[in-house]
Structure 1
Amino acid sequence: MGAQVSKQLERRKAIDAEKKILSDLLQSSGDQFPGSDYHPSDPKTWMSSLDPSKLHIRNILFPGTHDSATNKIGIPFISRPFAQCQSSSIYRQLCRGARVLDVRVNQDRRVCHGILVTYPIDVVLDSIKRFLSETTSEILILEIRTEFGYTDPPDFDTFLSDQLSDLLIHHDDHVFDKTIAELLPHRIICIWKPRKSPAPKPGGPLWSAGYLRDNWIDTDLPNTKFESNMKHLSEQQPVSSRKYFYRVENTVTPQADNPVVCVRPVTERIHGYARLFIAQAFARGFADRLQVFSTDFIDEDFVDACAGVTHARLEGKA
């Protein structure tokens, strides 16, 4: 018992020390970057306001949500706090400016996070279609994967293609060099990541797993995650020469051996340092690698920061 208490005390000290490192870095270097003062007038249409005829896909910093469809996962106040990474619906996330969705499914086409299961994938797709029907020039990246521990839903590629139909931007490496206007009326880059089923074929309506990459690490230590994100981002090619999307997640993950295992209090250790991360990417010389930036519990400030970088790139200031 004493050894376990000692371990938890050391863990608490490590977390506090890492939080202080980020706090001190913010105080010493600030979180300003090209475009940091930009605020779109309406987050629902922030891409449209940046001139779709000039905005190339490669120059967008896409704000994304991690475990996007978990707003109603689990039982309220019982299991939900351990798995909920977003408190808003998919539709509300899109209206707030999110443009990358991370959705996990099981063999029954239901959304899940680990062992917890929530609504059918149809709820997600209907929300997306509703949002796109209300806007004209917003482009989305929809990542759908089979959750670990489950089997692939049967014929899911056909199902997605039928459900999203003419909204889909078919796989094409030249997409990265095109403007939003050149892709319209197609609006969705859908990346399907099955566990065992065949991957989407080149040139088809769906994109394969290699087109959205990341280097996720399982830690609840905020500076460890921050610096890991920095390291892996620095190793990427600039967006101007890359033919895949690269994602950085401004999140940390609850650990089973720690007393604090609810998502929100853990992820808040790093949540407020999104602007610092962008500023440090500029300061360290590899902001030209930034392309997809995701978070738990997305908010207006996170979207503003991503839209600001996008605006600066469009203006030739980043």
Structure 2
Amino acid sequence: MGAQVAKQRIVEAEEKRLREKEEEEGIDFPGSNYRHHNHKEWMATLPLESIKVRDVLWPGTHDSATDKIGVPFISRPFARCQKLSIYQQLCRGARVLDIRVQQERKVCHGPLTTYKVDVVVADIRKFLDEMPFEFIILQLRTGGEWEDPPGFDAWLIANLGEYLVAQDEGVLEMNLLQLLPKRVICIWKPKEISYYPQPGSLLWSSWYLQDDWIDTDLPLTKFDSNLVTLGKQAANEKRGFFYRVENTTTPQVSSPVCCVFPVTNRIRGYARFFISQAFKKGIADRLQIFVEDFLQEDFVDACIGVTLARYYHQLLLHEPELLQEVLSQHQELVAATSRRRCK
């Protein structure tokens, strides 16, 4: 009991310091005031012919398909990282999905399982059929102590092949328009190395999506670690892979609080502060994939704002006040276009 009390005091001290740092330094960054009118089609409103795949700040979710995992009120609070279905997350603006699977093709998180990955694929297909100019980075990996699902690579290609962008490092240099009609970069990480996707495959190997995840429930520790490891990366334009930052904290068995939501909520509200710190430290050009638990539209807006600010990079460098005016005009144009479509 004494150890748990001491741990809680450490958590509270880190929460307090993180809150104070945000108050002292603020959360402004280029594009921070941008708000999109319709998160379901935000990529369609980008200048697709100009923005490169590597220049998007892709918003995503961690343990994406855990909305129905475990037993309600019993095991679910210890494993659920999202309350929304995959389709709902995509409609809310997520464009990177993190899916763990096991040998029966069920989604898993640790020892718990939920619906089959077929549900995930059906939701993705439904969304893509509705939204012809949206793009998704889909990562699937065999979870924890589970075994690889037999023939999973062939199954994925059979069910998503018409949308899949073939594995090619040069894709990162392409603009989004060049990818069409293909719209899914699918990364598959099996346990068995011999099953890894090969060059030219419709599936991408796990090398193409890297991160520096640390297992901690301490918010300031995770925040600072994310900044340090991001700073060690090469800029997006010089990297041949996607780099992910997870704005999450993880329950620990040694802690008195073990449910996902209250633990991850310690850092969840600091996504904008993290982006602002990346700009202040001169490492925002490394930000590429940013994910969180329990997806919020404000999180998505922050990523869209950065993406558009990068497009208007000359204004970002030399006329930041004019940049905000241009982004405001883009926001009004998107809203007007959406209203016309609804009539």
TM-score range, shorter chain: over 0.9
Q: Which has the higher helix share?
A: 2
Within 1, Cα distance between the matches of 2:66 and 2:162?
A: 27
Identity of aligned residues (%): 54
Partner amino acid, structure 2, of 1:259? P
Equivalent in 228, 231, 237 of residue 228 of structure 2: 231
Pair 1:68-2:64 in alignment? yes
Pair 1:44-2:34 in alignment? no
Pair 1:131-2:138 in alignment? no
Within 1, Cα distance between the matches of 2:157 and 2:312?
A: 36
Equivalent in 8, 15, 18 of residue 12 of structure 1: 8
Structure 2 unmatched runs, 5+: 318-343
SS of residue paired to 2:69: coil
Equivalent in 246, 255, 259 of residue 258 of structure 1: 255
Partner amino acid, structure 2, of 1:226? F
Alignment of 1:159-178 (within 5 A): 159-178=155-174
* Residues 34-57 of structure 1, C-alpha deviations (whole Å, 9 max, x = no match): 000111111011111112111110
* Residues 204-226 of structure 1, C-alpha deviations (whole Å, 9 max, x = no match): 10000100000111100000000
* Residues 100-148 of structure 1, C-alpha deviations (whole Å, 9 max, x = no match): 0000000010101111110011000000000000112111000000001
Pair 1:248-2:245 in alignment? yes
Pair 1:35-2:31 in alignment? yes
* Residues 81-103 of structure 1, C-alpha deviations (whole Å, 9 max, x = no match): 00000000000000000000000
Partner amino acid, structure 2, of 1:281? A
2:111–2:144: 8 Å Cα contact kept in structure 1? no
RMSD: 0.8
Within 2, Cα distance between the matches of 1:46 and 1:237?
A: 27
Equivalent in 264, 267, 270 of residue 264 of structure 2: 267
Within 1, Cα distance between the matches of 2:108 and 2:302?
A: 29
Shift in Å, 1:6: 2.0
2:264–2:293: 8 Å Cα contact kept in structure 1? yes
Pair 1:53-2:54 in alignment? no
Shift in Å, 1:176: 0.7
Within 2, Cα distance between the matches of 1:310 and 1:95?
A: 18
The alignment of Structure 1 onto Structure 2 pairs a total of residues equal to: 314
Structure 1 unmatched runs, 5+: none
> Which one is further off, 123-132 or 12-21?
12-21
Alignment of 1:1-318 (within 5 A): 5-196=1-192, 197-316=194-313, 317=316
After TM superposition, the score normalised by the length of structure 1 is: 0.98
Within 2, Cα distance between the matches of 1:305 and 1:136?
A: 23
Within 2, Cα distance between the matches of 1:72 and 1:148?
A: 19
After TM superposition, the score normalised by the length of structure 2 is: 0.90
> Which one is further off, 221-230 or 197-206?
197-206
